[in-house]
Amino acid sequence: MKCPFCNYQDSKVVDSRPTDEGTSIRRRRECLQCGKRFTTYETVERLPLMLIKRDGTRQPYSRDKLLAGVMKACEKRPVSQQRLEQLVDQVEQKLFGTLESEVSSKTIGEMVMEELREIDEVAYVRFASVYRQFKDINTFMEELNTLIRDK
């Protein structure tokens, strides 16, 4: 690993431990030339995932876009940022666990709604209203009645 201070090409690992989420390894390294220490992270390289949208177009999957949509649904709700990150992590584990290179936006939306339903019902309804593109108040009421009936 190249030293960020002196650009020397060799260093030794002083300490190594998993991160809190267990998705990467944090390593403390020491440069063999200048002696300064720095931190590196080792993560699993994932295959790129393509998202197939409703209109049939494809675009690269974006964790940031998914998190932004979930955050919008949970705006002004008692749901922590950490819990939203966990939700996205859970969805990603399912997505990348399938080993598929393409996934439909419908599949992701259903996964998110399943998780949101357990976290916050208001956020679930907000997300569902955008995701399912409710046409009128009757469609909205049908979703609310389903939520009440299942409870």
Q: Where are the domains of the chain?
A: 11-43, 50-150
Band (pLDDT 50/70/90 cuts) for residue 16 is: very high
The pLDDT value recorded for residue 68 is 94
Residue 132 burial by Cβ neighbours in a 10 Å radius (0-12, 13-18, 19+): middle
Contacts of 150 (CB under 8 A, 6+ apart): none
In tens, the pLDDT along 87-108 reads 998 998 888 888 788 999 989 9
Q: What mean pLDDT do residues 11-40 have?
A: 91
In tens, the pLDDT along 126-148 reads 888 877 777 777 777 777 787 77
Give the pTM.
0.64
Q: How far is it, in rounded angstroms, from Cα 46 to Cα 66?
A: 17
Q: How far is it, in rounded angstroms, from Cα 90 to Cα 98?
A: 13
Please answer whether residues 12 and 43 qualify as being in contact, where contact means their C-beta atoms are separated by less than 8 angstroms. Answer: no
Band (pLDDT 50/70/90 cuts) for residue 39 is: very high
What percentage of residues in the chain have a pLDDT greater than 70?
A: 98
* Between residues 127 and 149, the one the model is more confident about: 127
